Amino acid sequence: MNIARLNSAINNFIDFLNVNYQMITKSYEIYKLKVEKDKFFLVSFEEYFYDWAQANWELLVERVVCSPNESLVIYGSGSDYEAAGHSRVFFHNAEPTHKLICVAKSAVIDLLSETEVDLTQFDFDSFVSIDGGWYDISPPFDHILLTEEDAHAGDYQQIVIPLNHVSFCVKKIGHSG
């Protein structure tokens, strides 16, 4: 794992999301018209976006920082294109060996509840923006969505924090260090 490249790889990924967001929304609209015309099952924009984001997460972050036998936890909901089979686009059967950790630079306030939060209790989910007091999958992707650690079904808490309040590191899955 090349930790020295981690924060720059993540910043590159966020830049990629911002630069290409309009393209993915246009692509979704074309897809949506085709599906409606052909009467196929239409996935939501969120699912479509996360398929695309997972592919690029694997290319722009994992390939830059992970060794060949390492991988990170999926980005967001991962790729559900072949939902029954896997959530990864490349190396379908790869099990995550590391998870992304957000390290607070100072006290961090959840923008949804407006309370101070302990980031060690939450897992990284994805980059989002704030719109009208809630998070949104759209530029400028300057916030982080985190989900309560060990969340089950619908019984969990999510928080949103400003990106500039944290730095990133990784933690080997199954180890305390």
Q: Is residue 48 part of a domain?
A: yes
pTM > 0.85: yes or no = yes
Q: Is residue 57 part of a domain?
A: yes
Domain hosting residue 9, numbered range: 3-172
User: What Rg value do the Cα atoms of the chain yield, rounded?
Assistant: 17
Q: Three-state secondary structure along 48-72?
A: HHHHHHHHHHHHHHHHHHCCCCCCE
User: How would you class 74 by CB atoms within 10 Å of its CB: exposed for 0-12, middle for 13-18, buried for 19 or more?
Assistant: buried
| pLDDT in 10s for each residue of the chain, 177 residues | 898 999 999 999 999 999 999 999 999 999 999 988 888 888 889 998 998 998 899 899 999 999 989 988 888 766 665 555 556 666 667 788 989 999 999 999 999 999 999 999 999 999 999 988 899 999 999 999 999 987 666 778 899 999 999 999 999 997 554
Q: Is residue 26 part of a domain?
A: yes
Number of structural domains found in the chain:
1
Under DSSP, is residue 27 helix (H, G, I), strand (E, B) or coil? helix
The answer to whether residues 124 and 144 touch, using CB atoms and an 8 Å cutoff, is: yes
Q: Is residue 177 part of a domain?
A: no
